[in-house]
Amino acid sequence: MSQVLDTPPPTRAPADGDLAALAARHGLSVSGARPSLPQYVRQLWARRHFISAFATAKLTAQYSQAKLGQVWQVMTPLLNAAVYYFIFGVLLGTKQNVADYVPFLVTGIFVWTFTQSSIMAGTRAISGNLGLVRALHFPRAALPISFALQQLQQLLFSMCALAVILLCFGVPVAASWLLAVPALVLQFTFNAGVSMIMARLGAKTPDIAQLMPFVLRTWMYVSGVMWSIDKIAEHDDLPRLVTVLLQINPAAVYIDLMRFALIDSFQAHQLPPHVWAAAVGWALLAGVGGFIYFWKAEETYGRG
């Protein structure tokens, strides 16, 4: 009987509420929990140097195995422009209705390639870097943003060649070239936002990366890269809705803004109505919306 009475009473397991209170009292948090949006922004800003260095390293390594090296950064869009010039400009006769068709085409190709490459790289930003995602703790948005920054750096290299082409075809240097800076900033914001959206989708469904080339190719053909949207809009037999959709297409908006900035024969009347408002709107919608959409799944990246 004495042995029974001397047995200590069983201890009660702490409730979940007690554990949560204990963890909060000692400054502990759930492993891998998603930070609040302001905290996430601060964490991302603190790693801005990593984002820049990562983008530069990826750009340097991109053509490291090729004998011509970084020359391919310029040669690739130029070769694409040559192919499109032969098909659309010569065979289909598109150049007959567009002034300064070569500068018009090359500008469109360079600007479109910036968007296309950013989105393709963003689609694989998480699924293609699982080792980095699982090994290190950092805001995952740094990856799609760094890939968009990499493509911006590549575009800036290509812009040097574009300037030479413009001068060779008689396009003079003008003060309007400064408008290329805000246009590129808005396009980069748009590209980064779409890249974050595609990074989340690609992390969940990697097969999307196989589908995106077909989607992007279709988008390119309706974005006025090889032909002038304002010439198509002049046709009365085209439904008004189709004309409006072509004009507010974000890729076309940024391409037209860059043409307006760089090519003197591309006049203001060729721009869609309220073009700067459309450019800012698309940048904010994609940039802010894409960032929040990506952040909401922050704790899921690299799991499974």
Gap between the Cα atoms of 265 and 16, Å rounded: 70
Gap between the Cα atoms of 155 and 118, Å rounded: 11
pLDDT for 71-114, tens place per residue? Answer: 666 777 778 778 877 777 677 667 777 788 888 988 999 999 99
Q: What is the pTM of this model?
A: 0.84
User: Residue 173's Cα: distance from chain center in Å?
Assistant: 29
Neighbours of 291 (CB within 10 A): 22
Residue 142, pLDDT > 90, answer yes
Gap between the Cα atoms of 274 and 248, Å rounded: 9
Residue 118, pLDDT > 90, answer yes
Residue 234 burial (C-beta neighbours within 10 Å; 0-12, 13-18, 19+): exposed
Give the three-class secondary structure for 231: helix
Residue 120, pLDDT > 50, answer yes
Length of the chain: 304
pLDDT for 54-70, tens place per residue? Answer: 998 888 777 666 555 56
User: Residue 45's Cα: distance from chain center in Å?
Assistant: 18
Q: Report residue 13's pLDDT band, with 50, 70 and 90 as the boundaries.
A: low
Which has more pLDDT, 180 or 98?
Answer: 180
Instruction: Please give the share of the chain, as a percent, with pLDDT higher than 70.
Output: 83
Q: Which residues contact 213 (CB under 8 A, 6 or more apart)?
A: 120
Predicted confidence at residue 1, as pLDDT, reads: 45
Tokens of 264: 């003197």
Give the three-class secondary structure for 72: helix
Gap between the Cα atoms of 202 and 128, Å rounded: 9
Q: Which residues contact 287 (CB under 8 A, 6 or more apart)?
A: 189, 190, 192, 193
Q: Residue 175 has what DSSP assignment? A: G
Residue 20, pLDDT > 90, answer no
Residue 16, pLDDT > 80, answer no
pLDDT for 238-297, tens place per residue? Answer: 788 888 888 899 999 999 999 999 998 888 888 888 999 999 999 999 999 999 999 999
